[in-house]
Amino acid sequence: MRILIVEGDALAARILAVAARRRGHKTFEMESWAAVDEALPFEPSACVIGMEDAAESDVQPLTDFVSRLPRTVVSVVAATQIHGATSRRLLQGGIGDVIRKPYDPFELIERLERLAVGSSSDRDVEVVTLADLTVDLAHYSAHKNGHELRLTKLELRLLFCLLVHTGRLASTERLLTFGWDNMEPPEPALLKTHISHLRAKLREAGGHSLEITSRHSLGYMISLEESRVAER
């Protein structure tokens, strides 16, 4: 699974991430759940939200957050005791589990795994397409115009991220984070080089004309060239 850990306590987030990775999962960490929509290029399989307190006033924002991730199993962990009525409202609103800190990180990951069994949340988006271009992240393969593209794994991850955001901007930060996965992202200037390589390989493949445009160092966007759109 892809597990998103939203936790302001950096040490707690790191410990939970280690536990998840030891069980074969990928993890992504953030300090605030309010910015999740802008942080990931895909919907995670599971999410753990750490809080100091889960009060009645938090119910609506949390359930609104869950509604934006309908295929994601979400667990809330709080430092203080959660009132029974608040806990019930969270569960009714789509939260899969409510836990009080401290907790055993391995037990928490196992609980997430059990929640995900039989759930649609474990069907991560792995294949994306645009015109005659298809990228399969699970098998690290990409095809365009009926031919397999010879891409490095890094190039394929960057292309996948761009395709998930077809027609809208994929920020530089998002491309760096997703492209380099769990490694330390490089300086943004290196991203420009890899994007140039992708442009060249897409052109060489022929078929539908796709363009990758930059937006004043904010990010990149892939789209079908306007001339092609007009012909359709």
Residue carrying the six token digits 């955001």? 165
For residue 213, what pLDDT is reported? 94
pTM of the model: 0.53
Nearest partner of 174 among 36, 65, 2, judged by Cα: 36
Out of 139-143, 151-155, 178-182, 200-204, which region has the weakest mean confidence (pLDDT)?
178-182
Q: pLDDT band for position 164 (50/70/90)?
A: confident
By DSSP bridging, strand 133-136 and strand 141-144 are antiparallel
126 vs 4 pLDDT, higher one: 4
Torsion of CA 34, 39, 40, 41, to 10 degrees: 120
The domains of the chain, with CATH numbers, are: 2-122 (3.40.50.2300), 127-231 (1.10.10.10)
For residue 41, what pLDDT is reported? 60
Q: pLDDT band for position 183 (50/70/90)?
A: low
Position 218 pLDDT exceeds 50: yes
Q: pLDDT band for position 120 (50/70/90)?
A: very low
Residues ≥6 apart with Cβ < 8 Å to 106: 19, 22, 23
Q: Are 168 and 228 in contact (CB under 8 A)?
A: no
Letter for the amino acid at 29?
A: E
For residue 118, what pLDDT is reported? 45
Alpha helices in the chain (DSSP H): 10-22, 56-67, 84-92, 105-116, 153-164, 172-179, 188-205, 226-231
Two tokens at 143?
């095809």
Mean pLDDT of the chain: 83
Longest CA–CA separation in the chain, Å: 61
Q: What is the mean pLDDT of residues 99-118?
A: 84
Q: Hey, what long-range contacts does 65-70 have (CB within 8 A, 24 or more apart)?
A: 65/33, 65/36, 66/93, 66/94, 66/95, 67/94, 68/37, 69/36, 69/43, 69/44
For residue 162, what pLDDT is reported? 93
Q: Are 124 and 159 in contact (CB under 8 A)?
A: no
For residue 39, what pLDDT is reported? 59
132-144 burial code (b ≥16 CB/10 A, e <16): bbebebeeeebeb
Nearest partner of 33 among 58, 7, 2, 9, judged by Cα: 7
The predicted-structure confidence for 49-84, as pLDDT tens digits, reads as follows 988 877 778 788 888 877 777 778 888 888 887 777
* Cα 2 to Cα 230: distance, rounded to the nearest angstrom: 38
Q: pLDDT band for position 105 (50/70/90)?
A: very high
| DSSP assignment letter at 11 | H
For residue 122, what pLDDT is reported? 36
For residue 52, what pLDDT is reported? 80
Residues ≥6 apart with Cβ < 8 Å to 63: 89, 90, 93, 94, 95
| DSSP assignment letter at 37 | G
| Percent of the chain residues topping a pLDDT of 90 | 33
For residue 230, what pLDDT is reported? 40
